[in-house]
Amino acid sequence: MTDVTITRRSALLGAAALPLVASALPANTAQAAAPMMGVDNTPFARFKLGEFEVTTLLAGAAVREEPHKIFGLNVDDTTFDKAAEDAFIPNDMARFFFTPTVVNTGSSLVLFDTGLPGDTPGVVSALAGAGYTPDQVDTVVLTHMHPDHIGGMMTGGKPTFPNASYVIGDTEYNFWKGKDNRIGKMMDGMVVPIEDKAKFIKPGDEVTGGITAVEAFGHTPGHMTFQLESGGQNLMLMADAANHYVFSLAHPDWEVSFDADKAAAAATRRRLLTMLAEERMPFVGYHMPFPALGYVEKRGEGFHYVPASYQLEM
């Protein structure tokens, strides 16, 4: 460069040379780099619903590739990719969360679902983070029998929640019991051993005051969600009736690989989402981005997820 006039380009080149100068300074002026920690979430979030305290527990999270092989089996790639792009999420991978919920009604501690299995199940670690021990859990409610919901029932062959009684859907239990498949076998190890401590219920039955089972068949034959009501406030524990905050809400009729009866699951999803939107009722979605709490807004032919902010923290 022969031209000594300071141009924008030469000014930028000058700036680029600065790090060389900095690296020539004595090493003791630099701090050691902090370690990279990896993607993480807080393990629990607690909020109020009337007189209840509700805590969502992050028992695990995982990235899965090719979400179009899970959601939208009945639509083409272009439609799927457009839905992902519209929502600012990738079309080739999705992050799933596993979120049991524990409710303190004031007289009992009720845990909904138990997450994945493990030497120390994720639900136990998350409970500890939230300030609870497994022996404080009075009741364990199972929404359905998929392994990511019943996996924490037993630890080392013993009940993880030693003082708990159990509430289980009658239809769901009877459908899987004795089945010679993955779920039947998982249930043999995780649920059948506590059968004599379980109460078997139907949709419409109460778990305890203010907690009612709601029919949500389709994802599995006896899948149920649970409506909480305290002090005039309501919240739905949606379990797996809607499993993705975009694909399940914007496109409730999309077929989902995990749904046993795809048409029934879609009808259930639309019915519950319509009710949540009309009632402006918050919900917790078991597989939704942590803390898994949000609202449903009607949008076009489908719905839109509105993550909760501080509505239930006052």
Q: CB 18 → Zn ion: shortest distance, Å?
A: 52
Question: Which is nearer to Zn ion, 83 or 142 (by Cβ)?
Answer: 142
C-alpha pair distances (Å), 213 with each of 2, 52, 171: 81, 17, 12
Q: CB 237 → Zn ion: shortest distance, Å?
A: 13
Q: CB 265 → Zn ion: shortest distance, Å?
A: 12
Question: Which is nearer to Zn ion, 50 or 151 (by Cβ)?
Answer: 151
Question: Which is nearer to Zn ion, 44 or 286 (by Cβ)?
Answer: 286
Q: Per residue in 249-274, is it b (16+ CB within 10 Å) or e — as a string? A: bbbbebbbeebbebebbbebbbbbbe
Question: Which is nearer to Zn ion, 240 or 259 (by Cβ)?
Answer: 240
Question: Which is nearer to Zn ion, 53 or 221 (by Cβ)?
Answer: 221
Question: Which is nearer to Zn ion, 172 or 240 (by Cβ)?
Answer: 240
Q: CB 255 → Zn ion: shortest distance, Å?
A: 16
Question: Which is nearer to Zn ion, 201 or 288 (by Cβ)?
Answer: 288
Q: CB 142 → Zn ion: shortest distance, Å?
A: 11
Closest CA to 195 of 167, 162, 156: 167
Residues 6+ apart with CB under 8 A from 86: 250
How many other C-beta atoms lie within 10 A of the C-beta of residue 313? 10
Place of tokens 């699951």: 265
- The three-state secondary structure class of 188 is helix
Q: List the alpha helices (DSSP H) in 65-195.
A: 77-86, 122-129, 147-150, 170-176, 182-190
Tell me how far apart the alpha carbons of residues 181 and 163 are, in angstroms, rounded to a whole number.
Answer: 30
Question: Which is nearer to Zn ion, 7 or 41 (by Cβ)?
Answer: 41
Residues 6+ apart with CB under 8 A from 80: 68, 71, 72, 91
Q: CB 260 → Zn ion: shortest distance, Å?
A: 12
Q: Is residue 235 within 8 Å of 282, Cβ to Cβ?
A: yes
Q: Is residue 87 within 8 Å of 250, Cβ to Cβ?
A: yes
Q: CB 87 → Zn ion: shortest distance, Å?
A: 21
Closest CA to 100 of 34, 167, 150: 150
Q: CB 58 → Zn ion: shortest distance, Å?
A: 14
**Interface ranges with Zn ion (CB under 5 A):** 146, 148, 240
Q: CB 137 → Zn ion: shortest distance, Å?
A: 20
Question: Which is nearer to Zn ion, 99 or 105 (by Cβ)?
Answer: 99
Tell me how far apart the alpha carbons of residues 75 and 189 are, in angstroms, rounded to a whole number.
Answer: 38
Report the Cα 172 to chain-centroid distance in Å: 21
Backbone angles phi, psi at 222, to 5 degrees: -125, 25
